[in-house]
């Protein structure tokens, strides 16, 4: 069979994916990167207790389709009820489920131009219509513009990452609460909080977890160091959380990932040590940038966006020169954020490599 009967929607979509992984680039280069500083992973790793528990898991068993123990533990940790929580295959998987239950062909959805692209990928995949607003001039997402656009297009969903990816900037939770007064009553705010554990306390949204205006997405991939396990969870009104049961992959969570997340959540001492290392790493990245005449943007995430000062083509050249010298980094893809490169937090040894390679890459970019 050569004429596969794809849907008209599938046939209309571009042959693209949101990201090209560092492994793809390593295969193309035929060698590993010396410093992997582009995927916003937690290079400090998960709790050693979580690693041991995952290794000892009985892998011949499917994961609990209800993620019962993890949801109970999260409920206790957050002081909420388990029926406000759904666990899924990372935030990416949960975004896909949310879009599936909320967005049909032609439905309007609002996001920022240059914000996390996987959300857009899901919306396009279900036939939704994306409406984008620019970031503010201070590299923050524009709350007022997002909610105004939602009212104009009668959007079902508005996507906001706080802290933001790719810029690392963050709004105080109280500012989001104030802005919600202008969110249309039939629009749901999708609040992506992947980097919340990396941020100062005031970034958290001071609203009940079951506030029907908001669904929050969180993950064990960043501060908890379990990106490879793919464990995310959504927090919201029980009526909305129940709707996920209609579409989610009930055996999508593997048993080792569930056990690892449970152990990681219990080891808050390790989490605090990682948070301290993230702060130290952000500070050193910023210092390296300044020493090379670049401008770091204050970050509440586990990476730092750095303004290269020469526009998108110059930033792209710096990125390519860094990759050519064995340092994997990324950059925003939309203007004006694409004047920047983005560097994930690293170990002291990795940041030593960054400090050595960055000035060489800058000189090569200027000569080119």
Among 238, 266, 294, the domain-final residue is 266
**Would you say residue 368 has pLDDT above 70?**
no
Last residue of a domain, one of 266, 297, 318: 266
How far is Cα 197 from Cα 44, in angstroms, rounded to an integer? 14
| Span 16-36, pLDDT tens digits | 777 788 999 999 989 999 999
Instruction: Name the pairing type of β-strands 340-344 and 303-307.
Output: antiparallel
- pLDDT score at 17: 76
Domain match, 228 and 341 both: no
**Quick one: pLDDT band at residue 1, thresholds 50, 70, 90?**
low
Q: Grade residue 3 by pLDDT with cuts at 50, 70 and 90.
A: confident
Phi-psi map region of 113: left, alpha, beta (phi>0 left; psi -120 to 50 alpha): beta
Are 302 and 262 in the same domain? no
| CA 143/CA 148 separation, integer angstroms | 8
Domain count, the chain: 2
3-state helix/strand/coil string of 133-177: ECCCCCCCCCHHHHHHHHHHHCCCEEEEECCCCCCCCCCCHHHHH
On whether residue 175 sits in a domain, the answer given is yes
The per-residue pLDDT for 18 is 74
Q: Which residues pair with 327 in a beta bridge?
A: 35
Nearest to 73 by CA among 316, 259, 283: 259
> What's residue 231's pLDDT?
98
**60 assigned to some structural domain:** yes
Same domain, 153 and 204: yes
**233 strand-pairing partners:** 87, 218
Residues 317-365: tens digit of each pLDDT: 999 999 999 999 999 999 999 999 999 999 999 999 999 999 999 999 9
* Mean pLDDT of the chain, nearest integer: 96
Sign of the CA dihedral 103, 106, 112, 114? positive
Dihedral sign of CA atoms 87, 47, 160, 173 in order: positive
Same domain membership, residue 352 and residue 257: no
Tell me whether residue 3 is in a domain: no
Residue 38 lies in a domain: yes
Token duo for residue 280: 């130290």
Average pLDDT value for residue range 212-225: 98
Among 244, 266, 288, residue at a domain's last position: 266
Per-residue pLDDT tens for 31-78? 999 999 999 999 999 999 999 999 999 999 999 999 999 999 999 999
Alpha-carbon gap, residue 139 to 19, rounded angstroms: 22
* List of E strands, the chain: 35-36, 85-88, 108-112, 129-133, 157-161, 188-192, 214-219, 232-235, 295-296, 303-307, 327-328, 340-344
pLDDT value at 233 more than 70: yes
**CA-CA-CA-CA torsion sign (203, 91, 97, 134):** positive
Place of tokens 């020469």: 310
* 109 and 179 housed in the same domain: yes
Residue 207 lies in domain: 48-266
Q: Could you give the CA distance from residue 89 to residue 91 in angstroms, rounded to a whole number?
A: 7
């Amino acid at each position: 069979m050569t004429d596969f009967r794809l849907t008209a929607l599938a046939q209309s979509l571009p042959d693209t994916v949101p990201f090209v992984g560092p492994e793809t680039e390593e295969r193309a280069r035929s060698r590993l990167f010396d410093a992997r500083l582009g995927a916003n992973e937690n290079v400090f790793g998960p709790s050693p207790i979580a690693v041991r528990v995952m290794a000892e898991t009985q892998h011949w068993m499917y994961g609990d389709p209800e993620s019962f123990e993890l949801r109970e533990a999260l409920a206790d940790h957050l002081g909420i009820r388990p029926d406000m929580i759904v666990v899924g295959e990372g935030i990416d998987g949960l975004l896909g489920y949310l879009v599936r239950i909320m967005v049909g062909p032609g439905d309007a959805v609002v996001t920022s131009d240059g914000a996390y692209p996987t959300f857009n990928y899901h919306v396009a995949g279900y036939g939704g219509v994306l409406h984008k607003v620019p970031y503010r001039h201070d590299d923050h997402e524009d709350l007022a513009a997002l909610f105004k656009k939602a009212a104009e297009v009668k959007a079902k969903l508005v996507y906001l990452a706080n802290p933001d990816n790719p810029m690392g900037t963050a709004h105080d939770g109280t500012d989001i609460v104030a802005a919600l007064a202008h969110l249309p009553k039939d629009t749901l705010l999708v609040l992506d909080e992947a980097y919340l554990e990396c941020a100062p306390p005031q970034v958290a949204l001071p609203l009940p977890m079951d506030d029907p205006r908001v669904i929050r997405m969180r993950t064990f991939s960043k501060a908890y160091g379990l990106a490879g396990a793919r464990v995310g969870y959504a927090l919201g009104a029980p009526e909305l959380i129940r709707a996920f049961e209609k579409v989610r992959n009930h055996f999508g969570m593997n048993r080792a990932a569930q056990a690892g997340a449970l152990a990681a959540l219990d080891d808050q001492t390790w989490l605090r040590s990682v948070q301290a290392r993230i702060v130290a790493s952000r500070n050193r990245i910023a210092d390296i940038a300044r020493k090379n005449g670049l401008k770091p943007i204050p970050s509440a995430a586990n990476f730092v966006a750095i303004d290269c000062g020469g526009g998108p083509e110059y930033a792209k050249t710096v990125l390519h020169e860094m990759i050519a010298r064995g340092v994997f980094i990324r950059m925003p893809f939309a203007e004006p954020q694409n004047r920047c490169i983005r560097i994930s937090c690293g170990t002291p040894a990795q940041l030593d490599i960054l400090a050595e390679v960055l000035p060489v890459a800058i000189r090569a970019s200027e000569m080119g």
